[in-house]
Amino acid sequence: QEAASARHFCGRGPGRMPTVHVAVGRDEATFLTIFNKEPLEADVQLEEGRNIEWVKNRAIDQLWPKVGFCHGVAALSSLKTFNAATGDEIAEGDRAEDGMHIVLAQEPPPAGGEDADASSKNRSASPAASPPTVAPS
């Protein structure tokens, strides 16, 4: 009974858990923080009453193995949280909602989520959309 009510708390019907999509930003400052050229994304199943900080931490649980160095968790934890659609920063204490798309990054994503969803088919091919290259020293 309790599990069933958790599935229905957003009125989405049986069998579907509310989900928040999390993507790591593709800006240069974020690249220099996590040193990952591949798009990083996670879908977090949302439990009732959880906040953005909880979602961020569950996303980091999924993403850190894809960050290729030993301090990946610390690097991902240092990123700010932004609304993918507006580019506005979200306070970690704010309540998370089903269907949200958030971006973990150092710099705000462009409004409209253009750079937020790295798997988007309409993603810009401009050089700014690609991760920067780091010249060997």
Q: Which of 46, 43, 26 is nearest to 34 (CA)?
A: 26
The single residue listed with the structure tokens 């069998």 is 15
Is the full-model pTM beyond 0.75? no
What pLDDT digit, counting tens, does each position of 39-48 carry? Answer: 999 999 999 9
What pLDDT digit, counting tens, does each position of 105-128 carry? Answer: 999 999 776 444 443 333 333 334
Distance CA 124, CA 106 (A): 20
- CA–CA distances in Å: residue 20 to residues 29, 54, 99: 24, 11, 5
The single residue listed with the structure tokens 């949302």 is 46
**How many helices (H) and strands (E) would you count in the chain?**
4, 4
On whether the CB atoms of residues 100 and 20 are closer than 8 A, the answer is yes
What pLDDT digit, counting tens, does each position of 73-115 carry? Answer: 999 999 999 999 999 999 999 999 999 999 999 999 997 764 4
